[in-house]
């Protein structure tokens, strides 16, 4: 199994970027670039919690993009729980991510990392389900070894993203379907980057946050070990949902934001 090197970058003092014409940059995805820019402005405090964002027309003029681009970026921010949109009243900031998120994330890669988590919720939930039905003794040993390394990293106040990556890859291998492994490997850069960001944020927070992350992994392992596929799927989906929300909201507490029916949405 190949490992992807972390691409953490040393950066200077945090400063809010200027609202410049995004068309001049010729980005591959304008909506992603606008998502990143608005998320940065919210994080830096230009738009505090409960404040109203500029209108779609004003955002189009400020960034030199079309209304569909603005709407897609706002929709993504709303889906991530960062803003809330009220019909006829505009969009309001709901939560503010930690400035550490901007420092740790790959440059221009926030939107891609969050979208990657949406895909992982669907893909890895099913992987955990199948792993619980098909896992062998060697699979359990591999998952348990990665889990132990994550625990040791947490106790040593280390990031532990390499062990985290091995944990999820071992579950994919336990499916008995090589396509699950191939899919995760194709996303290895995004997954590894996200794990580095998420675990670094947890490390910089109260110890209870890191303990919660470890407990979520332990629940996934226990369900797979005990061959409880439904519980394994739910535990994995809940972990990925919680991970995404912890990354976007420094004050997030599991259980505070649930999907329809009281279950976590991935």
Q: Where are the beta strands (DSSP E) in the chain?
A: 83-86, 90-93
Is the pLDDT at 235 greater than 90, yes or no? yes
DSSP-assigned beta bridge partners for residue 90 = 86
pLDDT of residue 264: 41
Exposure string (b/e) for 167-181, b if CB count within 10 Å is 16 or more? bbbbbbbbbebeebb
How many whole angstroms separate alpha carbon 79 and alpha carbon 145?
A: 35
Secondary structure (3-state) at 265 = coil
Q: How far does CA 134 lie from the centroid of its chain? A: 28
pTM for the predicted model, two decimal places: 0.72
pLDDT of residue 1: 44
Exposure string (b/e) for 183-194, b if CB count within 10 Å is 16 or more? bbeeeebbbbbb
Confidence of residue 147 (pLDDT cuts 50, 70, 90): very high
Is the pLDDT at 108 greater than 70, yes or no? no
């Amino acid at each position: 199994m190949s490992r992807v090197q972390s691409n953490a970058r040393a950066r200077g003092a945090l400063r809010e970027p200027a609202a410049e014409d995004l068309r001049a940059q010729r980005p591959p995805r304008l909506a992603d670039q606008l998502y990143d820019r608005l998320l940065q402005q919210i994080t830096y405090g230009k738009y505090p919690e409960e404040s109203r964002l500029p209108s779609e027309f004003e955002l189009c003029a400020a960034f030199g993009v079309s209304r569909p681009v603005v709407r897609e970026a706002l929709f993504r921010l709303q889906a991530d729980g960062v803003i809330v949109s009220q019909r006829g009243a505009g969009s309001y900031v709901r939560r503010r991510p930690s400035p550490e998120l901007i420092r740790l994330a790959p440059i221009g890669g926030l939107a891609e990392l969050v979208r990657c988590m949406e895909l992982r919720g669907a893909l890895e939930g099913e992987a955990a389900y199948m792993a619980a039905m098909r896992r062998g003794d060697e699979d359990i040993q591999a998952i348990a070894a990665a889990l132990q390394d994550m625990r040791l990293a947490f106790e040593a106040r280390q990031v532990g993203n390499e062990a985290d990556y091995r944990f999820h890859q071992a579950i994919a291998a336990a499916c008995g379907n090589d396509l699950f492994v191939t899919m995760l490997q194709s996303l290895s850069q995004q997954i590894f980057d996200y794990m580095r960001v998420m675990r670094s944020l947890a490390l910089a927070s109260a110890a209870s946050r890191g303990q919660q992350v470890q407990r979520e992994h332990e629940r996934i392992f226990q369900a797979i070990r005990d061959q409880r596929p439904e519980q394994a799927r739910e535990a994995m989906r809940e972990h990925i949902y919680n991970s995404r929300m912890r990354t976007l909201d420094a004050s997030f507490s599991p259980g505070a934001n649930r999907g329809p029916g009281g279950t976590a949405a991935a």
